[in-house]
Amino acid sequence: MTLTDMGKRAKDVSRILNTLGSREKNMGLEEAARALLDNEEEILTANKEDCDKAEAGGMNQGLLDRLRLTPARVQAMADGLLQVASLDDPVGEVLSMKLRPNGLQIGQKRVPLGVIGMIYEARPNVTADAFGLCFKSGNAVILKGGSDALSSNRAIVEALRTGLSRVGLPEDSLQLIEDTSRETTKELMRLNRYIDVLIPRGGAGLIRAVVENSTIPVIETGTGNCHVYVDETADLQMALDIIFNAKTQRIGVCNACESLLVHRKIAERFLPMLKKRLDEKKVEIRGDEDACAMVPGFVPATEEDWGREYLDYILSLKIVDSVDEAISHINTYNTGHSESIVTSDYFNAQKFLNEVDAAAVYVNASTRFTDGNEFGFGAEIGISTQKLHARGPMGLKELTTTKYIIYGDGQIR
């Protein structure tokens, strides 16, 4: 089947999905979740094939962790679909209704985007999340995953489509492009006749290529050079726990901490504690000149380190003299994703919240919470680091647009 054929099918299906009520969509999601669990063995077998190939090809541990599925992760995909089913349906919501002097009633109504295209890398769980959110918000979706996860994605999509067919809903609500060549990717990025929005999710190279080459409107999901700033008034044990979680809980995710800033007044006391804690996971700390002078074992950082998303057990570290310097450094090098301050000072906390330019800004919490499920969205189709039309984790509402609805009784202009 050609991409044009897939686009036509998706456009036709999107018109059907626009007419479905919440009950029908929820039935589809529940049956799709059941089909994932029914086909768990096939999905895990396919995923093992992908993981074996990736490991033999030298894929790093962070990316392997993203690729690997387990029974618990398959269950989590199914649970995510059920959670999306339990959420309020945004489609049809009337946002406002105003009466004009001429008697016209003018309002706005939330409607699906239509057909969503998604290009993503080795994250097979994204396949189920993207389907669930697009389906509940009334959108057809065309997915193009990376070659590393092709077998996994094929098995997951087959299960999801089976679930839809069991309750008489169109299987083409979800389509997978199995040709992973660059030529096909370029062709997809120009399918603006059929696809309304394109969402890239992956590394910086992928996102940049889509933004620069697509003729379809793009929602840019960003890489994550996320920072934690330890203020001079921070509870040091809290800071250690937050940094340890943000850096090491999962290294291959975009909301992991990659850069650390520490106030000079507490550095000599805090940095030895930090090294001891991160040594538990063998984290390499690349520090500035002052940090390296304070603690033996730190690796000297270069200018390149301040902007790096490592996706590895590596952390950059800079000592700063004030919250203003910390904010300036973050706004210079961050990717607009997630930033956190650990502090007991209310005014510094408020200053950080107000002045740091990022999609999610935390006080005394790990950056790892920037996630659709953690924010109560059931799942996410990505984390937008741009400012139009969505920012942060994108759930159901972010996959809709609005149209004006106008009631009259014979008015003419």
Query: pLDDT tens, position by position, for the chain (413 residues)?
Result: 899 999 999 999 999 999 999 999 999 999 999 999 999 999 999 999 999 999 999 998 878 988 999 999 999 999 999 999 999 999 999 999 999 999 999 999 999 999 999 999 878 999 999 999 999 999 999 999 999 999 999 999 999 999 999 999 999 999 999 998 889 999 999 999 999 999 998 878 888 899 999 999 999 887 899 999 999 999 999 999 999 999 999 998 899 999 999 999 999 999 999 999 999 999 999 999 999 999 999 999 999 999 999 999 999 999 999 999 999 999 999 999 999 999 999 999 999 999 999 999 999 999 999 998 899 887 788 899 988 888 999 999 999 999 999 999 999 99
Angle made by CA atoms 319, 278, 329, in degrees to the nearest 5: 25
Q: Which domain holds residue 8?
A: 1-220+380-405
Same domain, 201 and 245: no
Overall domain count for the chain: 2
Same domain, 175 and 241: no
Within-domain flag for 240: yes
Same domain, 63 and 125: yes
Torsions phi, psi of 395, nearest 5?
A: -105, -150
Same domain, 367 and 384: no
Same domain, 347 and 391: no
pLDDT at 389: 84
How far apart are the C-alpha atoms of 119 and 382, rounded to whole Å? 11
How far apart are the C-alpha atoms of 413 and 101, rounded to whole Å? 13
| 3-class secondary structure, 190 | coil
Same domain, 387 and 269: no
What CATH number did the domain enclosing 239 receive?
Answer: 3.40.309.10
Alpha-carbon torsion (248, 251, 257, 259), positive or negative: positive
Same domain, 45 and 71: yes
Same domain, 255 and 357: yes
Same domain, 195 and 309: no
Same domain, 133 and 31: yes
287 contacts 300 by C-beta, under 8 angstroms: yes
Angle made by CA atoms 203, 204, 206, in degrees to the nearest 5: 70
Helix (H) or strand (E) holding 300: strand 299-300
Within-domain flag for 410: no
Same domain, 241 and 166: no
What CATH number did the domain enclosing 121 receive?
Answer: 3.40.605.10
pLDDT at 49: 97
pLDDT at 66: 87
